[in-house]
């Protein structure tokens, strides 16, 4: 009894001691990036530890001697917070991309980064969700090492050009395979009019949880034939068990064009053109293309000089807004994610508009403890509208392209006549006071009356299940249906522009793309004796895509009252009909083993069939293997002192071979004839020379990497070296035109090319205190691309910009898609003539209108024009030799800031727009021409202006004077955010409120003089990159956003 | 427990069974066998008489393409001389040819070469495939001979255009200069890129050979959109004229031009001049005068920027008539205002532009392309008579053409050969304006181009006189030069 009493006393004493010395701290833990509540976070102080509840709240009782609390959570960086005299703590944890526990979504499964021995980059959905983008892919710029992304120009929803470790092919697509929740989806522009329609925009960026970019062949090889260009694995958000959360994200923004070229005003224009005409007469007194003083200033009724700024007519400051609402949650058995999104974005080009409405429902249900079901339903409606910008692939020389008209239209003519009607003359703008006809159309009419529209209605549905047959052995089946209905509409008015010569024209086309995919896998995962970790997977994958297009063309409108396809027209014909179908079938296997988390081995094999190859060659076997060694888990490492320096140290290597089945022609193996009409009778004619031996193009890649972390994981470093050999390249081999092969090309397996380079990622947290945190990630990649074989050493592949201007060459010994043209060598100070270097390296000067003496040596000896125009050379590589990103996140108390820089360089760009801006026809010119040669300005860089001269400045053929370096540094994104303190929200029911302002493309440092060094007038072309021709510029966007969490 | 175990096992078997079934069923061969649904495979092209006929029509349609005789052949030959002025400075619509600044890399002119040879390859493939054992017996030998004759006619027609544009005139040196690669067998594979050019004479020999073969087997009557016997003969008068072999024009002409007025073809299709020249052009071809026309239709309209009415008429007025000295328009004595060809085909669009309205301005520009018409045959014959026969008959022939359009005009007496030729040249410029004859007429006589676009006279020894062989050919077939 005494004992009991004394025990009680002791307990009481202890309690008393504890009572006096312990204190209770409460608080809330959230995710620093998106503000979501984190449940299950371990909060520890001294010997005590608790976990946060579903609402992110914690309450911990600690002795007074404990002055700080440590917060740790899987996938997040641990944080230690000094308590001071506070009793309530708001804590925001940051996830870190270098974290080894992070999950990498690889083919048909997932691995943690520490198990993963390939090369992949992961980008979190939050990085791209809050930005004024149309598709997620645009937001990846500078985010992942070895992934180079070029947004071709500022036209909304223009598909970005993505290159994972360089160019992956020459004739086949080099766009990476995009896999959304397991199904490969199409990536090409699906519009067939002047608006661009990137189907990737059908995926609401806000629904994306993460994007994993598989770069090396060993990890991509599980995707076999589709993976030669790398793989973007998109995982959409899923619900989490626990409290149901509701989030609203929205932003409003404005967008305007930057770096527009400066062109002549009306007075400068008139003076310059008249002088050029005088100069023409001085060369050839019989000059007949324009009378003397053909240009004249025009005045309005008030006597003011007409000086139209066509850039003002065509461009605007545009307004956009976007809203997204999600509800997600669940219990142990069922989780769900529901979202509804709307985005209305206006482009800085007038009438350019992108609208998306989307709904998504992801659900997962544990039926029994062995069977799990999951499903996705996603419906998206997206509508793209644009005038003809001339800024889509193939549109560079469109005569109605507003990008060019905004620069080249004469400034001394008005938009409207005094009576308010459009200023027109036949198919062009009216001449005003000029004594010569104008060439370009009046863009106002096109903006008011023409229409290009492309609308997608897309259903994306998935159903699947998993059955755990015995412990560790799981069968999974997943069927996905991706149905896209695209409606393309085009209307051209009868009074001006493309519709003029048709007297009004309408063309509509409907496209039905039915894409299904069924995968089945059987996976066995088991750990033996605690140290042998094994995973074996076998599976099958079948995919079929059928695209049916049908449409109609109508022209010669019965009355200009009609402005749509449904109006009445005299001529009605079928147009745009096609049917294409392709199928893939594959059987795959994967084995992963690691010994004690120290030695890692993975192997992949896949047998792939592709209907687009010839019957005897359509099956191919691909595969890869990788090994890894985690030194930091070795005893000798830990005990040898290195363990004190390195928190982690790992070596890895991989090798793999994949095929490229991204053929654009699904029937390239066959000789084919097409049906057509001759007048009004049936006709059939030869239209394709096939190749019955067409087989797989392959890509073999080796990757060697090292990564380590020091300073308590505050500094991590990753380096990879890769070598990617592309062999048996399927090339459209140029045939001599006199052979009469349709399109002068036949697909053949003839070429080889390699890409090699280094990739570095440094992730450093220079400051990590309770209130202030700064994290910086630098990724830097080098790339060397070289073509090692084509059909033969002397037959290059020549590519024409928009099919018209010879601009690019792919030749053995050089980087693919190099700029190709004639070397110019300044201006002769004696006479102002352009000097070229001819095929013997001689200086040849060009005198426009010089007749037989147009081309002469400097001493006046005549040479043939062919000696110059045939003297074409490789003038520079267009693929960057180095590129990357420099991304900084800062947080201070409730403020957060993001500064993302992107950079790229070592490449050249052909500034073809400048050739046009200095063209001496009726076009307006850049202010550069004010510095053209005259007898007073003998050291000029620009030749003497002679009216109609389209040769001296590079319009007639490409000249080296218009080739410039493309190096740049851009502040891609700058964001400043503020989160309301939890105390301010305590009773509102709102758990999280964050405001942010963001600027995109805030500044650009470059010596390039065109609209933007990030340019691709030829879109996704492999062999004609780095060309700027008449494209609209990039925009600068400012947005104001709000995140709300309930 | 036992039940549970059995259940587990059977489900395991079920799942594995499903997986295996899947593996084997999806292995079905036809899953990966996708055939083009909208194209006819090569081995089915001679299956029915209708399809063989459609192939013949396909050859005509190839010749008719906008890049070729459906537009560009006529345009390139008309805009290089003194009759037209450019309005739009657009390189796409011939501005560089007009200015004589086109170089070998010019992609528009290259397109003429490319489509020309594509057509020749289609013809060669048709001729070769028609002889394959498996393609016999579907049509009668008689029909087969006709189809082969048509194909050969089209091959001659295409080569005649290529050799005129891309090689020196035969008359320069009797065809000794560099001609073209003479492709006479089909190409369907990557083999055979290299082929040196034959001489101009060899190309002409082949053209005449094909035309003689064609004449032998072509039917006596046919519709205007396909070749018949007189079509081959008419083309021969043009070819011999180009070669300067006037004495050889006459025997050909004799087959299709009666000795005296009213001139008409004595055998086969009874070609003769239409009463009204305005009836010759339009959305159908008047049979007696038009020997070969390429048809257009709503469902087979000419391609964008290749339509003649788009170039010359109000369609887009790419080129308007030159009013300056030396142009045919300025010659109101030689071409009085009373002439039906002025009244019908010339119009003042506005104060600045006088335009040629021979082809309709109504989109989609369905005027048929006049490829060979009887008026040309009469003028070919007249020129040959003036050079190698009777000045009197030459006068009668020219008068027939002139008086059809202007009976108030009296063709001056042909007192000398020079007067005769001058009169015939004048008549050709008026009658054939906008039909693609100006450049070949200049070139075969080795005259200088009086070029408005270049603002210069381009003599026959100027390197710009004929088109250079396109760069794309030289790069893949360096032996061509």
pLDDT on residue A18:
43
- d(CA A1020, nearest CA chain B) in Å: 22
With CB atoms and an 8 Å threshold, state whether A284 touches B455.
yes
How many CA atoms lie less than 13 Å away from A87 in the CB half-sphere?
A: 4
pLDDT in tens, B121-180: 999 999 999 999 999 999 999 999 999 999 999 999 999 999 999 999 999 999 999 999
Please name the residue ranges forming H helices in B303-390. Answer: 308-311, 340-345, 374-388
Closest residue on chain B to A801 (Cα): B107
Longest dimension (CA), chain A: 132
pLDDT band at A661 (very low <50, low <70, confident <90, very high): confident
Per the model's pLDDT, the better-predicted residue between A582 and A11 turns out to be: A582
Q: Phi and psi of A2, rounded to 5°? A: -65, -40
Whole-angstrom CA distances from A826 to A289, A734, B443, B449 are: 27, 34, 38, 33
CA distance linking residue A763 with residue A323, whole number of Å: 32
Residue of chain A nearest B109, judged by CA positions: A804
Q: For chains A and B, count residue pairs whose Cβ atoms are closer than 8 Å.
A: 309
Element (H, E) at B405: helix B391-405
CA distance B302 to B297: 9
Instruction: Report cis status (omega within 30 of 0) of the bond before B364.
Output: yes
Judged against a pLDDT cut of 70, whether residue B181 lies above it is answered with yes
pTM assigned to the model: 0.87
Q: pLDDT digit string (tens) for B444-465?
A: 999 999 999 988 899 999 989 9
| Contact criterion met (CB < 8 Å) for B107 and A804 | yes
- Tell me the HSE value of B412 on the side-chain side, using a 13 A CA sphere: 14
Contacts of A805 in chain B (CB under 8 A): 107
Neighbours of A706 (CB within 10 A): 15
Q: Are A379 and A407 in contact (CB under 8 A)?
A: no
Look at residue A988 in the predicted model and tell me its pLDDT.
76
Would you call B8 and A470 a contact, using CB atoms and an 8 Å cutoff? yes
pLDDT in tens, A855-874: 999 999 999 888 998 899 99
Q: Min CA distance, B122 vs chain A (Å)?
A: 6
Q: Which helix (H) or strand (E) holds A213?
A: strand A208-214
B31 φ/ψ angles, rounded to the nearest 5 degrees? -60, -35
Cα-flanking dihedrals φ and ψ of residue B316, to 5°?
-140, 0
Tens of pLDDT, residue by residue over A881-922, are 999 999 999 999 889 999 999 999 999 999 999 999 999 999
End-to-end CA distance of chain A: 56
CA separation for the pair A552, A87 (Å, rounded): 72
**Of A1034, A1038, A1017, A1035, residue with least CA distance to A1026:** A1017
Q: Which residue of A has its CA nearest to B40?
A: A673
| pLDDT tens digits along A1015-1045 | 999 998 999 999 999 999 999 999 999 999 8
Average pLDDT over residues A68-84: 80
What is the per-residue DSSP string for B286-309? -TTTEEEEE--BTTBPPPTT--HH
Contact B99 A948 (CB under 8 A): yes
**B chain contacts of residue A427, beta-carbon cutoff 8 Å:** 316-317
pLDDT (0 to 100) of residue B17:
59
Give the chain B residue whose CA is nearest to the CA of A864: B463
DSSP state of A1036: E
Smallest CA–CA distance, residue B413 to chain A, in Å, is 35
Q: Which of A810, A932, A938, A795 is nearest to A879 (CA)?
A: A810
- Determine whether A234 is exposed, middle or buried from the number of CB atoms within 10 Å of its CB (0-12, 13-18, 19+): buried
> Is B228 at the interface with chain A, CB within 8 A?
no
Of B60, B104, B188, the CB nearest to A869: B104
- Residue B248 has which token pair? 């050889």
Query: For the stretch A96-109, what's the b/e string if a residue is b when 16 or more beta carbons lie within 10 angstroms of its beta carbon?
Result: bbbbbebbbbbbbb
pLDDT digits (tens, 9 = 90+) for B342-369: 999 999 998 889 999 999 988 899 999 9
pLDDT band at A26 (very low <50, low <70, confident <90, very high): confident
In this structure, is the dihedral angle defined by the CA atoms of residues A140, A141, A145 and A146, taken in order, positive or negative?
positive
Name the minimum distance, in Å, from the CA of A483 to any CA of chain B: 20
Set of chain B residues whose Cβ sits within 8 Å of the Cβ of A667: 34-36, 39
What residues form DSSP beta bridges with A552?
A508, A574
Q: In Å, how far is A177's CA from the nearest CA of chain B?
A: 20
The pLDDT mean for chain B works out to 92
Greatest extent of chain B over all pairs of C-alpha atoms, in Å: 125
Distance separating alpha carbons of residues A566 and A784, to the nearest angstrom: 53
Run of H or E residues at A1040? strand A1035-1045
SS3 A634: coil
pLDDT in tens, B7-58: 555 555 555 555 555 554 444 558 999 999 999 999 999 999 999 999 999 9
CB contact (8 A) between residue A437 and residue B352 = yes
Model confidence at B267: pLDDT above 90 = no
Does the pLDDT of residue A1 top 70, yes or no? no
- At A138, the pLDDT band (50, 70, 90 cuts) reads confident
Section B293-308 average pLDDT: 92
Query: Which of A32-36, B90-94, B310-314 shows the lowest mean pLDDT across its residues?
Result: A32-36
Summarize pLDDT for B15-29 with one digit per residue, the tens: 555 555 555 444 455
What integer best gives the mean pLDDT of chain A? 90
Search chain B and give the residue with CA nearest A549: B38
pLDDT of residue A187: 80
Taking the C-alpha atoms of residue B401 and residue B432, their distance in angstroms, rounded to an integer, is 11
pLDDT, position A711: 86
Q: Determine contact: B351 vs chain A, CB below 8 A.
A: no
Residues of chain A contacting B476 with CB distance shorter than 8 Å: 734-737, 795
Quick one: CA dihedral A765, A767, A769, A775, positive or negative?
A: negative
Residue A671 is nearest to which of B42, B455, B462, comparing CB atoms? B42
Query: CB A678 to CB B124 under 8 A?
Result: no
- The DSSP letter of residue A661 is -
Q: In this complex, which of B19, B33, B473 lies closest to A475 when CB atoms are compared?
A: B19
Q: What is the distance between the alpha carbons of residues B261 and B392, in angstroms, rounded to a whole number?
A: 12
Q: Are A414 and A299 in contact (CB under 8 A)?
A: no
3-state secondary structure A444-503: HHHHHHCEEEEEEEEEEEEEEEEEEEECCEEEEEEEEEEEEEEEEEEEECCCCHHHHHHC
Query: Cβ distance B377 to B257 under 8 Å?
Result: yes
Looking at residue A983, its pLDDT comes to 78
Q: Is the pLDDT of residue B90 over 70?
A: yes
Query: Out of B90, B190, B454, whose CB is closest to A851?
Result: B454
Residue with tokens 């179908």: A581
- pLDDT of residue B87 exceeding 70, the answer is yes
All residues of chain B having their beta carbon less than 8 Å from the beta carbon of residue A609 are 32
Task: Residue A847: name the closest of A930, A806, A858 by CA.
Answer: A858
Nearest neighbour of B364 by CB, restricted to A555, A574, A675: A555
**Strands annotated E in A817-938:** 818-822, 824-827, 834-837, 843-846, 855-857, 872-876, 882-892, 895-905, 908-911
């Amino acid at each position: 009894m005494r004992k009991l009493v004394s025990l009680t006393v002791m307990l009481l004493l202890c309690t008393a001691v504890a009572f006096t010395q312990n204190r209770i701290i409460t608080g809330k833990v959230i995710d620093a990036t998106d503000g979501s509540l984190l449940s299950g976070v371990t909060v520890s102080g001294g010997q005590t530890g608790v976990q946060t509840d579903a609402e992110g709240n914690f309450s911990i009782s600690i002795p007074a001697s404990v002055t700080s609390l440590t917060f740790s959570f899987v996938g997040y960086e641990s944080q230690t917070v000094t308590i001071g005299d506070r009793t309530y703590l708001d804590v925001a944890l940051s996830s870190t991309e270098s974290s080894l526990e992070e999950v990498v979504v690889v083919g048909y499964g997932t691995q943690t980064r520490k198990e993963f021995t390939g090369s992949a980059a992961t980008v979190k959905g939050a990085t791209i969700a809050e930005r004024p983008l149309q598709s997620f892919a645009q937001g990846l710029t500078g985010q992942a090492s070895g992934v180079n992304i070029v947004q071709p120009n500022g036209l909304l929803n223009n598909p970005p050009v993505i290159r994972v470790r360089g160019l992956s092919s020459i004739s086949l697509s080099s766009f990476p395979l995009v896999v959304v929740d397991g199904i490969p989806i199409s990536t090409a522009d699906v519009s067939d009019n002047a608006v661009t329609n990137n189907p990737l925009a059908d995926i609401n960026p806000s629904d994306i949880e993460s994007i994993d970019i598989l770069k090396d062949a060993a990890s991509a090889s599980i995707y076999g034939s589709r993976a030669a260009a790398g793989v973007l694995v998109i995982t959409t958000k899923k619900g989490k068990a626990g409290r149901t959360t509701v989030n609203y994200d929205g932003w409003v923004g404005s967008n305007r064009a930057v770096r527009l070229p400066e062109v002549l005003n009306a007075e400068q224009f008139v003076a310059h053109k008249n002088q050029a005409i005088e100069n023409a007469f001085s060369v050839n007194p019989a000059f007949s293309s324009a009378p003397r003083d053909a240009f004249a200033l025009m005045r309005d009724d008030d006597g003011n000089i007409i000086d139209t700024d066509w850039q003002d007519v065509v461009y605007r400051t545009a307004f956009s807004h976007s809203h997204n609402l999600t509800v997600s949650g669940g219990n142990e058995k069922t989780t769900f994610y529901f979202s509804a999104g709307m985005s209305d974005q206006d482009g800085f080009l007038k009438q350019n508009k992108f609208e998306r409405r989307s709904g998504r429902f992801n659900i997962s249900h544990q039926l029994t403890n062995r069977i799990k079901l999951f499903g996705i339903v996603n419906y998206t409606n997206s509508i793209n509208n644009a005038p003809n910008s001339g800024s889509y692939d193939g549109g560079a020389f469109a005569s109605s392209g507003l990008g060019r008209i905004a620069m080249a239209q004469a400034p001394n003519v008005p938009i409207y006549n005094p009576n308010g009607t459009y200023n027109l003359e036949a198919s062009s703008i009216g001449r005003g006071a000029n004594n010569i006809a104008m060439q370009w159309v009046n863009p106002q009419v096109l903006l008011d009356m023409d229409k290009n529209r492309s609308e997608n209605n897309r259903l994306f549905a998935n159903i699947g299940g998993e059955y755990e047959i015995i412990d560790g052995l799981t069968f999974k089946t997943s069927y996905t249906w991706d149905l896209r209905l695209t409606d393309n509409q085009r209307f051209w008015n009868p009074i001006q522009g493309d519709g003029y010569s048709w007297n009004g024209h309408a063309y509509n086309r409907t496209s039905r793309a039915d894409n299904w995919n069924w995968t089945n896998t059987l996976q066995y995962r088991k750990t033996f004796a605690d140290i042998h970790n094994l995973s074996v997977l076998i599976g099958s994958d079948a995919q079929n895509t059928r695209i049916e297009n049908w449409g109609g063309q109508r022209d010669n409108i019965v009355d200009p009252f009609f402005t749509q396809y449904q109006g009445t027209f005299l001529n009605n014909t079928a147009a745009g009909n096609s049917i294409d179908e392709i199928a893939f079938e594959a059987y795959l296997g994967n084995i992963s083993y690691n010994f004690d988390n120290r030695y890692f081995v993975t192997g992949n094999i896949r047998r792939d069939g592709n209907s687009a190859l010839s019957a005897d060659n359509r099956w191919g076997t691909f595969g890869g293997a990788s090994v890894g060694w985690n030194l930091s888990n070795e005893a000798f490492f830990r005990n040898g002192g290195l363990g004190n320096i390195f928190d982690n140290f790992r070596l890895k290597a991989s090798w793999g071979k994949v095929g490229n089945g991204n053929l654009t022609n699904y029937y390239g193996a066959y000789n084919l004839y097409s049906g057509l009409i001759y007048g009004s009778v049936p006709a059939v004619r030869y239209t394709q020379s096939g190749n019955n031996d067409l087989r797989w193009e392959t890509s073999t890649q080796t990757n060697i990497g090292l990564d380590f972390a020091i300073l308590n994981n505050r500094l991590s470093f990753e380096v990879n070296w890769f070598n990617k050999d592309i062999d048996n390249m399927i090339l459209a081999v140029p045939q001599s035109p006199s052979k009469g092969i349709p399109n002068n090309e036949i697909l053949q397996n003839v070429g080889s090319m390699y890409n090699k380079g280094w990739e570095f990622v440094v992730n450093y947290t220079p400051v990590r205190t309770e209130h202030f945190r700064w994290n910086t990630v630098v990724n830097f990649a080098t790339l060397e691309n070289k073509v090692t074989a084509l059909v033969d050493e002397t037959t290059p592949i020549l590519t024409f910009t928009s099919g018209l201007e010879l601009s690019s060459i792919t030749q053995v010994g050089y980087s693919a898609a190099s700029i190709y043209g004639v070397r110019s060598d300044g201006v002769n100070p004696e006479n102002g003539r352009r000097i070229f270097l001819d095929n013997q390296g001689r200086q040849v000067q060009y005198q426009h209108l010089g007749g037989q003496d147009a081309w002469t040596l400097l001493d006046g000896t005549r040479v043939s024009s062919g000696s110059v125009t045939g003297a074409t050379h490789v003038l520079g590589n267009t693929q960057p030799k180095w590129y990357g990103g420099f991304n900084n996140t800062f947080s201070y108390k409730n403020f957060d800031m993001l500064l993302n820089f992107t950079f790229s360089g070592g490449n050249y760009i052909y500034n073809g727009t400048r050739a046009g801006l200095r063209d001496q026809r009726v076009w307006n010119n850049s202010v550069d021409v004010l510095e053209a040669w005259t007898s007073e300005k003998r050291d000029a860089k620009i030749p003497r202006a002679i009216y109609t001269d389209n040769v001296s400045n590079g319009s007639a053929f490409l000249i080296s004077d218009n080739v410039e370096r493309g190096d740049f540094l851009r502040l891609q994104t700058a964001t400043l955010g503020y989160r309301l303190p939890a105390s301010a929200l305590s009773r509102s029911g709102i758990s999280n409120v964050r405001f942010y302002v963001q600027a995109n493309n805030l500044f650009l440092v470059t010596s390039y003089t065109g609209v933007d060094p990030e340019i691709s007038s030829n879109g996704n072309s492999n062999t004609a990159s780095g060309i700027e021709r008449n494209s609209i510029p990039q925009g600068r966007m400012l947005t104001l956003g709000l995140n709300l969490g309930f | 427990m036992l039940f549970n175990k059995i259940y587990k096992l059977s489900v395991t078997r079920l799942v594995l069974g499903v997986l295996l079934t899947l593996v084997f069923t999806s292995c079905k061969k036809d899953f990966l066998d996708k055939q083009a649904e909208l194209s006819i495979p090569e081995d089915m092209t001679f299956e029915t008489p209708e399809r063989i006929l459609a192939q013949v029509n396909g050859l005509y349609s190839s010749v008719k393409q906008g890049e070729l005789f459906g537009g560009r052949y006529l345009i390139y030959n008309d805009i290089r001389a003194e009759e037209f002025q450019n309005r739009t400075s657009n390189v796409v619509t011939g501005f560089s040819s007009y200015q004589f600044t086109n170089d070998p890399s010019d992609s528009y002119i290259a397109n003429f070469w490319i489509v020309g040879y594509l057509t020749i390859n289609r013809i060669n493939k048709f001729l070769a495939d028609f002889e394959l054992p498996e393609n016999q017996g579907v049509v009668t030998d008689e029909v087969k001979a006709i189809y082969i004759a048509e194909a050969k006619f089209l091959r001659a027609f295409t080569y005649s255009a290529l050799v005129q544009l891309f090689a020196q005139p035969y008359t320069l040196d009797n065809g000794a200069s560099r001609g073209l690669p003479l492709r006479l067998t089909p190409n369907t594979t990557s083999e055979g890129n290299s082929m040196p050019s034959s001489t101009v004479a060899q190309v002409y020999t082949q053209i005449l050979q094909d035309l003689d073969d064609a004449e032998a087997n072509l039917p006596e009557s046919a519709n205007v959109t396909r070749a018949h016997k007189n079509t081959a003969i008419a083309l021969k008068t043009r070819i011999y004229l180009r070669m300067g072999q006037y004495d050889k024009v006459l025997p050909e002409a004799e087959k299709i031009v009666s000795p005296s007025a009213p001139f008409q073809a004595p055998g086969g299709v009874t070609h003769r001049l239409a009463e009204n020249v305005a009836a010759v052009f339009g959305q159908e071809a008047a049979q007696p005068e038009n020997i070969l026309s390429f048809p257009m239709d709503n469902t087979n309209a000419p391609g964008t920027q290749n339509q003649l009415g788009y170039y010359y008429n109000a369609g887009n007025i790419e080129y308007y008539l030159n009013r300056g000295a030396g142009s045919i328009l300025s010659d109101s004595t030689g071409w009085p205002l009373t002439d039906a060809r002025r009244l019908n085909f010339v119009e003042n669009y506005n104060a600045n532009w006088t335009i040629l309205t021979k082809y309709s301005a109504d989109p989609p520009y369905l005027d048929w392309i006049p490829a060979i018409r009887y008026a040309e045959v009469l003028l070919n014959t007249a020129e040959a008579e003036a050079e190698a026969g009777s000045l009197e008959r030459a006068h009668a022939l020219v008068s027939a053409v002139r008086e059809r359009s202007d009976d108030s005009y009296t063709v001056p007496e042909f007192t000398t050969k020079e007067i005769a030729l001058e009169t015939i040249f004048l008549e050709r410029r008026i009658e054939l304006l906008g039909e693609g004859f100006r450049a070949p007429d200049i070139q075969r006589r080795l005259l200088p181009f009086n070029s408005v676009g270049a603002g210069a006279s381009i003599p026959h020894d100027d390197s710009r006189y004929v088109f250079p062989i396109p760069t794309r050919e030289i790069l893949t077939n360096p032996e061509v030069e």
